[in-house]
């Protein structure tokens, strides 16, 4: 069963802690993306990666870090430098770098700072 898997579904973080959100895909997609969703603001791009061992900052990369050591995996770390991390995080992938193909999304991770 192909798709994108994000884990965990819910995550709680204490202030000052780093947390890592997992994103795995078995669609053989080259490109992967992380978006942040806040109420009333749509989706904003955090980071994206077109190939293994390469990634680019999106519009709101500050306070986040990523790695792309394997084609299937694109984990996102929310660092203590991110001042307002409470949000819904969505991972996506596509066959090319979104040239004319749709992106496929995971089910999301809801991160809450406690």
Partner 1 sequence: AQSVAQPEDQVNVAEGNPLTVKCTYSVSGNPYLFWYVQYPNRGLQFLLKYITGDNLVKGSYGFEAEFNKSQTSFHLKKPSALVSDSALYFCAVRDNAGANNLFFGTGTRLTVIP
Q: Site residues (CB under 8 A) for partner 1? A: 4, 6, 9, 31, 33, 35, 40-45, 48, 50, 56, 58-59, 88, 90, 92, 97-100, 102-108, 110
Nearest to 104 by CA among 31, 39, 47: 31
Choice between 27 and 80, CB closer to partner 1: 27
d(C-alpha 78, C-alpha 86), whole Å? 10
- Minimum Å gap between C-beta 99 and partner 1 is 7
- Is the Cβ of residue 19 or residue 46 nearer to partner 1 in the bound state? 46
Q: Which is nearer to partner 1, 19 or 90 (CB)?
A: 90
CB of 34 to partner 1, least distance (A): 12
Q: Buried b / exposed e across 16-36, counting CB within 10 Å, b at 16+?
A: eeebebebbbeeebebbbbbb
Give the nearest distance from C-beta 97 to partner 1 in angstroms. 4
Identify whether the C-beta of residue 95 lies closer than 8 Å to the C-beta of residue 32: no
Nearer to partner 1, 9 or 70 (CB): 9
Q: What single-letter DSSP state applies at residue 36? A: E
Q: In angstroms, rounded to a whole number, what is the distance separating the alpha carbons of residues 22 and 106? A: 10
């Amino acid at each position: 069963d192909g798709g994108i898997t994000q884990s965990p579904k819910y995550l709680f973080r204490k202030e000052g802690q780093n947390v890592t959100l997992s994103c795995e895909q078995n669609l053989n997609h080259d490109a992967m993306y992380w978006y942040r969703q806040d109420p009333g603001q749509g989706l904003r791009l955090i980071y994206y990666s077109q190939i293994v061992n390469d990634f680019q900052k999106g519009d709101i990369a500050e306070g986040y870090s990523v790695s792309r050591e394997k084609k299937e995996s694109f984990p996102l770390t929310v660092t203590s430098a991110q001042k307002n991390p409470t949000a819904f995080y969505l991972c996506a992938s596509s066959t090319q770098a979104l040239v004319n193909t749709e992106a496929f999304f995971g089910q999301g991770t809801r991160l809450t700072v406690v």
